[in-house]
Amino acid sequence: MDLNVDFAGIKLKNPLVGASGTFGYGLTYEKFFDLSLIGGFCTKGLSMKPREGNPTPRICETPSGMLNAIGLQNVGYEKFATKKMPKLRKISTAVIANFFGETMEEYIELAAKLDALEGIHGLEMNISCPNVEKGGAAFGTDIRVTEAVVKGCRAVVKNKPLIVKLSPNVADIAEFARACEGSGADGLSVINTLVGMAIDIKNRKPILANVTGGLSGPAIRPVAVRMVWQCYKAVKIPIFGIGGVASAKDVVEFIMAGASAVQVGTMNFVSPDIIPQLAEELPELLVRLGAASVSELVGVAHGG
């Protein structure tokens, strides 16, 4: 069974990739399995400077999902490049650097650095984070800002595929997909978390210290599949399907909706070896579905 996927030039040995923020810098999972078994992973979202993230509580379980308000805690570019990369270069798996900035300049500066960093196979721009220059609304919910930041990064990212991770908190995701494609993106990641919240009724206040958080897990899968479907209709660049993947069936669901590969997030917390497990189960399911490769199923649910 051919599980290989060429995702915008990134060679994945299977279509299963660890999602940003749920996979650390990869090494956390080494105690559970051999990282070379998986297609690749996206790093925890990187910023120029280290960030300590939000106060606690940062997480909260919800029906078939969870809320997180980690606040983009990360070690920062320098430490990532000097402490994590040397180890990651030795592992035969695709390393995709997820990154963000608080300002347009920070995005561009970091994109340029990551583009030059040896051992990084692709860049994934997280545009769901607050734009401090624009009063804190997410970059990725304003179409003009999205275009500007993608174009800005595109101009400096010359060696590696540039993937844009879309925010689902918009009315028309297809419009954003087209804007990213038009601004030079090589691929899309669909979707980031939905904004949600929960209340601590005993203490009469939001559970999360940050008030709102990102909803992830199986609960959001129907929304994610729909958005992948819409993006597939809208653009020609490949799409990572993300949101609640928990079984080989779910992987195929995203692929048939139009994803070239999928990312697994929250379920890594529940079953840390879920990605290699899915890689093992996938071929059998594909055979049962009469498919000889992953690629022949991409978007088939859209019909002829």
Partner 1 sequence: MQCTVTSIQSLAAGFFHLSLTPEKPLGPITPGQFVMIRCGESTDPLLRRPMSVADFEADGSRLGLLVQIAGRGTGTISRLDKGDQLDLIGPFGQGYSVPPEARTIVIVAGGTGVAPFMTLTPTLVSQGKDVHVLLGARTKELLLMEEWFLHAGASLHVATDDGSKGFDGLVTALMMERLDHMEEPPDMALACGPAGMMRAVAALAEHNNIPCQVSLENSMACGFGACLGCVAHVRGEKRYVTVCRKGPVFDSREVLI
Give kind and range of the element (H or E) at residue 242: strand 239-242
Task: Judge if the upstream peptide bond of residue 168 is cis by omega within 30 degrees of 0.
Answer: no
Q: What is the DSSP letter of 84?
A: I
Q: Quick check: 44 binds ligand FMN (CB under 6 A)?
A: yes
Closest listed residue to residue 62, CA positions, set 208, 224, 165, 241 = 208
Site for ligand FMN in 132-161 (CB under 6 A): none
Size of the site for ligand FMN (CB under 6 A): 26
| Residue 287 interaction partner, one of a copy of itself, partner 1, ligand FMN, none, beta carbon < 5-8 Å per kind | none
Closest listed residue to residue 227, CA positions, set 249, 252, 257 = 257
Q: How many CA atoms lie within 13 A of 28 on its CB side?
A: 15
| Residue 29 interaction partner, one of a copy of itself, partner 1, ligand FMN, none, beta carbon < 5-8 Å per kind | partner 1
Place of tokens 């051992």: 119
- Least Å distance, CB 264 to ligand FMN, is 6
Rule CB under 8 A: choose which of 1, 13, 33, 53 binds partner 1. Answer: 53
Indicate the residue type of 31: K
Spatial separation of the C-alpha atoms in residues 184 and 155, rounded to whole Å: 9
Question: Quick check: is 180 catalytic?
Answer: no
Question: Other C-beta atoms within 10 Å of 200: how many?
Answer: 12
Stretch that binds partner 1, among 16-24, 133-141, 177-185, 255-263 (CB under 8 A): 16-24
Indicate the residue type of 233: K
- Least Å distance, CB 277 to a copy of itself, is 18
Check: CB of residue 218 under 8 Å from CB of residue 233: no
Rule CB under 6 A: choose which of 8, 16, 20, 80 binds ligand FMN. Answer: 20
| Residue 201 interaction partner, one of partner 1, ligand FMN, a copy of itself, none, beta carbon < 5-8 Å per kind | a copy of itself
Check: CB of residue 252 under 8 Å from CB of residue 241: no
- Least Å distance, CB 256 to a copy of itself, is 5
| Residue ranges in contact with a copy of itself by CB under 8 A | 62-65, 67, 137, 141, 169-172, 194-199, 201-202, 204-206, 211-213, 215, 217-223, 225-226, 229, 244, 246, 249, 252-253, 256-257, 289, 297, 300-301, 303
Site for partner 1 in 236-265 (CB under 8 A): 246
Rule CB under 8 A: choose which of 132, 155, 270, 289 binds partner 1. Answer: 270
Place of tokens 């840390």: 272
Q: Which residues are the active-site residues? A: 129
